[in-house]
Amino acid sequence: VDITPIPGPLGLPFLGNALSFLGEETPILGFERLADIYGPIYQVVFKGTRTIVVSSAAILEELVDEKRFQKLPPLAFSNDSKARGLFAAATDDPDWGQAHRILIPEMGPLSTDKMFDDMKDIANQLVLKWARKGPEDRILLTDDFTRLTLDTIALCTMKYRFNSFYSSEMHPYVDAMMNVLQESGSRSTRPAFISALHFSENAKFQESEEILKKTAQQIIDNRRANPVDEKDLLNAMIYGKDPKTGLAMRDELIAAQMTTFLIAGHETTSGLLSFTFMYLLKNSSTYLKAQKEVDDAVGKGPINLEDLKKLKYLTACLREALRLSPTATALSKKINPESHQPFTFLNKTYKVESADRIFVLLGKSQRDPAVYGEDAAEFKPERMLDEDFNTLPDGAWKPFGNGVRACIGRPFAWQEALLVAAITLQHFDLRLDDPSYELRIKQTLTIKPKDLYVRTTLRDGID
Ligand code: HEM
């Protein structure tokens, strides 16, 4: 077999290609720029290890085979902590298996249905705030959606109220979380010895991690002291037993899961809502169509769970926004050492080694013209209506990841995003504060549109 060499930028022997990303505010765009130069498969060398960066749906189609390729947990999270939450643990870590088996049923569609009222509680707080502030107020959309998603995940899964809409300062927990996110993001592209020299950042990082752990432990202690007879996620973690081993989770692991849920469960969904509104507002015919669908399905009264199922077009809008702007921007894979046969795509054969890492740029693979055509970069929700969406090739739309390590919060995120998009379209006319707004990206661990300001006007006759 003829092996095709994988192209890529030349790196310095010691720092590898990390140098070209230092100082980059949005590393993901750096990776995407290299894809524009080197094509859908290229290599970079980080800290002596080769990373193969891929960005086509056809290659992702190969990578979804879990026998050959598995999730590589994020390195920035896996240094010192003993208990790793679902997101950061390796698949063969017994802690992952235990938490996965206990938590999967708690986050399925049946369980999220029961969270609808709590979700609506927080969504109504957003509506009240916008209604009272009125159109004179310039709203940083991403901030309000972040308040909303954080309050929602905390209320629905652990009956904890951050009450973010009632203060202009964010809760200290949120500051700590943002700091951990920011620093983890920077560490993931910075050589380890440079990170080690960032003394004040490191001290702050440690302090923030302590705040996260302590807050989580307080919530656990409080629940033990004041038991509630409710089937929420926190009770499942405290009292639930692993069906395989019969064991309950230890507190340190529960705390790690809580932090994981709060982080994984709010940034991504907030970004999804912000991008969706940005695309709707930049493409006014889609906005009007989505709003009309909500008016027809829900009318002017309170929205209920059944209404959400009728919102086919709005569902397609969310899918299309997440296709163009996947808020979790990339998937990392390692190669199963037993199966590292060369991999082939477009009639070329590439050799991979078990030490290689694979990095999938979802923002590129989901804009693959081979699947979506020449208008792949445009916002066209029609292509994401059920019929077409359900027949997409497996590698074409993967914003929630893959296989056993796919997102456990997908039904939750979907219900929340659909509810909030619907309730805001129902109550308000939104417009961009700056009609000529052009998308810029802000990246922490996830991406969001930067400086997206809107104005909202309450519509007539709404309850
Ligand atoms: C995993 C995306 C919302 C909790 C993942 C992964 C992706 C993802 C891509 C896999 C990461 C990988 O392969 O390394 C998203 C997006 C969301 C979202 C785009 C919203 C639009 C949520 C919510 C929760 C959540 C609301 C919690 C309620 C998790 C957890 C994992 C995960 C715990 C790790 C699962 C495991 O490996 O066992 N998510 N997520 N996510 N997500 Fe989400």
Assign 309 to helix, strand or coil.
helix
Task: Select the more confidently predicted residue: 348 or 438.
Answer: 438
Assign 49 to helix, strand or coil.
strand
Structure tokens at 44: 């970079």
Is residue 169 scored above 80 in pLDDT?
no
What confidence category does residue 178 fall into, taking pLDDT thresholds of 50, 70 and 90? confident
Give the Å distances, CA to CA, from 209 to 80, 204, 382: 11, 9, 43
Q: Is the dihedral of CA 281, 286, 289, 293 positive or negative?
A: negative
Question: What separation in Å is there between the alpha carbon of 433 and the centre of ligand 1?
Answer: 31
What confidence category does residue 251 fall into, taking pLDDT thresholds of 50, 70 and 90? very high
pLDDT at 10: 77
Say yes or no: CB of residue 264 within 6 Å of ligand 1: yes
Is residue 452 scored above 50 in pLDDT?
yes
Say yes or no: CB of residue 265 within 6 Å of ligand 1: yes
pLDDT at 280: 98
**Tens digit of each residue's pLDDT (9 = 90 or more) over 327-340:** 999 999 999 888 76
Is residue 96 scored above 60 in pLDDT?
yes
Give the Å distances, CA to CA, from 191 to 194, 391, 437: 6, 42, 35
pTM over 0.90: yes
DSSP letters of 328-370? S-EEEEEE-GGG---EEETTEEE---TT-EEEEEHHHHTT-HH
Question: What separation in Å is there between the alpha carbon of 410 and the centre of ligand 1?
Answer: 7
Question: What separation in Å is there between the alpha carbon of 281 and the centre of ligand 1?
Answer: 27
Question: What separation in Å is there between the alpha carbon of 249 and the centre of ligand 1?
Answer: 21
N residues, the chain: 463
Contacts of 369 by beta carbon, 8 Å cutoff, 6+ apart: 376
Give nearest CA residue, ligand 1 atom 2.
400
What confidence category does residue 170 fall into, taking pLDDT thresholds of 50, 70 and 90? confident
The ipTM estimated for the assembled molecules is 0.99
Is residue 132 scored above 50 in pLDDT?
yes
User: From the alpha carbon of 257, which atom of ligand 1 is closest?
Assistant: 33
Pocket test for ligand 1, best of 362, 400, 414 (most atoms within 8 A of CB): 400
pLDDT at 418: 98
Say yes or no: CB of residue 396 within 6 Å of ligand 1: no
User: From the alpha carbon of 73, which atom of ligand 1 is closest?
Assistant: 14
Is residue 197 scored above 80 in pLDDT?
no
Question: What separation in Å is there between the alpha carbon of 320 and the centre of ligand 1?
Answer: 18
Say yes or no: CB of residue 84 within 6 Å of ligand 1: no
Is residue 237 scored above 90 in pLDDT?
yes
Question: What separation in Å is there between the alpha carbon of 264 and the centre of ligand 1?
Answer: 6
Pocket test for ligand 1, best of 69, 324, 407, 444 (most atoms within 8 A of CB): 407
What confidence category does residue 78 fall into, taking pLDDT thresholds of 50, 70 and 90? very low
Q: Which of 29-33, 137-141, 160-164, 444-448 has the largest mean confidence?
A: 137-141
**How many CB atoms within 10 Å of residue 81?**
14
Give nearest CA residue, ligand 1 atom 32.
407
Say yes or no: CB of residue 86 within 6 Å of ligand 1: yes
Is residue 410 scored above 80 in pLDDT?
yes
Say yes or no: CB of residue 409 within 6 Å of ligand 1: yes
Distance from C-alpha of 206 to C-alpha of 223, rounded to nearest angstrom: 26
Percent of the chain, pLDDT > 90? Answer: 66
Give nearest CA residue, ligand 1 atom 42.
407
Give nearest CA residue, ligand 1 atom 41.
409
Distance from C-alpha of 31 to C-alpha of 358, rounded to nearest angstrom: 13
Distance from C-alpha of 171 to C-alpha of 110, rounded to nearest angstrom: 31
Task: Select the more confidently predicted residue: 169 or 433.
Answer: 433
Q: What is the mean pLDDT of the chain?
A: 90
Is residue 232 scored above 50 in pLDDT?
yes
Is residue 263 scored above 90 in pLDDT?
no
Question: What separation in Å is there between the alpha carbon of 401 and the centre of ligand 1?
Answer: 8
Which residues are catalytic, by number? 268, 400, 407
